[in-house]
Amino acid sequence: MAAASSSAPARPTFLLLGDDPFRTRLRLAELVSSLVADAPTESAGLVRWPGPDLGTPLGVTRHDARSDSAEAILMSGASQGLFAAVDERRVVIVEHAEALRSDEPVRAFPPDAALVLVTTEKLPTSRARRAPARAKKDEAVAVDLPAAVTESGGKVERIARLQPPEVPGWITGRAALAGVTLAHDAVEALAVAIGADSDRIEQEIAKLSSFAGGKRIEAADVRALVAGAIESDVFRLTEAVVKQDAKAAIARLDELFSDGQAPQQILALLVWQFRILLFASAMRGAQDAERMAKAIRAASPASLYRWQAQARRVDRKLVTRAYESLYATDLAIKQGRTDPETALTLCVLDLCGVANADPRELVLGEPPRR
């Protein structure tokens, strides 16, 4: 939910700082609807708002700060629409507000009109916006929009990304809004497969809705239709392996085989997930998460956080040993030393610490030195 104060702003000026683009669009649509209807502007819960479409309400003008001047924005606030009622409130939306070169549109905006500034980019603080002593003539000086809006009596709202514990509730709420019923394990599978990407959650729920035809969506449907859902199943397999729970790991592996997943695909995902474990074990903060997510091409930095709990259980020696076992399994399958399912089963047992299940023996022909 958008973080905002409980009191209405002294002036109808709003700055939406969006860390989550889709949820920011939802909040924009909700806010504009309230302003047009002269209703309370506090968010009633973004999970319940139908969609980001603004429609075509009279009295609403949209500007792009990358191309429109401050004068054009001010003129929209001062001009009554051709078909607008005399008492109709004018609402001016300025998207990509980070591109504004001056705070004049905020300071000089007509008090009887509503101004909504929107950005999904990181804005400079008042300290960062100070111009150097010898700034170049045409060099743009960053504007401290949060300070300008606050000083004018407006309100700043930050629309944060969903945190991992919030994702299942968001999925359930958006699915209910779309008339889709998800089984509990389907919600879990969708949450693990997609993470905190609210835009993609919306797309996948729409796809599942078209498929379901009114029926309840099960985890098997998510695995069949949602790209990356198999990764959530292999994640549970990796989780069992890290916990050295051979019984749970083999049960999870048998489920993957029963679902028709190819041993080579499972093996490839195990290798990738152990690589993520290695990175997650070295992660210390948000900056590390962003850097490592780019390095391993993860969906988002947030997708690394769910690995941190497991990463605390492993050290580099265990990961190195796991790589050796996974590599030997790959060779054993490619060289035809045994059937792929047997090779992968031995690999999982070995990763769980079961004695005499080392797949390297299939390649070397004798037990390797430990």
**Amino acid letter at 309?**
A
C-alpha span between 233 and 133 (Å, rounded): 57
Q: Does domain 164-225 have CATH number 3.30.70.100?
A: no
Q: How many C-beta atoms surround the C-beta of residue 119 within 10 A? A: 20
- Please state which CATH class domain 230-364 belongs to: mainly alpha
Rounded (to 5) percent helix, strand, coil in the chain: 50, 10, 40
| Length reported for the chain | 370
Positive or negative, the CA dihedral 62, 45, 187, 238 is positive
Structure confidence at residue 29 (pLDDT): 95
pLDDT surpasses 80 at 5: no
Over residues 189-204, the pLDDT tens digits come to 888 778 888 999 999 9
Over residues 255-272, the pLDDT tens digits come to 888 877 888 888 888 887
Over residues 112-150, the pLDDT tens digits come to 899 999 999 887 655 444 444 454 544 455 688 999 999
Find where tokens 């010898």 sit: 134
- Tokens representing residue 152 in the block: 């004018």
Fold of 13-128+139-159: Rossmann fold (3.40.50)
pLDDT surpasses 80 at 76: yes
C-alpha span between 213 and 187 (Å, rounded): 18
Structure confidence at residue 55 (pLDDT): 82
pLDDT surpasses 50 at 103: yes
Structure confidence at residue 310 (pLDDT): 61
| The dihedral formed by the CA atoms of 72, 73, 77 and 80, expressed in degrees to the nearest 10 | 40
| The dihedral formed by the CA atoms of 43, 48, 52 and 53, expressed in degrees to the nearest 10 | -110
Q: How many C-beta atoms surround the C-beta of residue 82 within 10 A? A: 6
Task: Write down the domain spans for the chain.
Answer: 13-128+139-159, 164-225, 230-364
Structure confidence at residue 133 (pLDDT): 47
Q: Which of 107, 148, 106, 108 is nearest to 125 (CA)?
A: 148
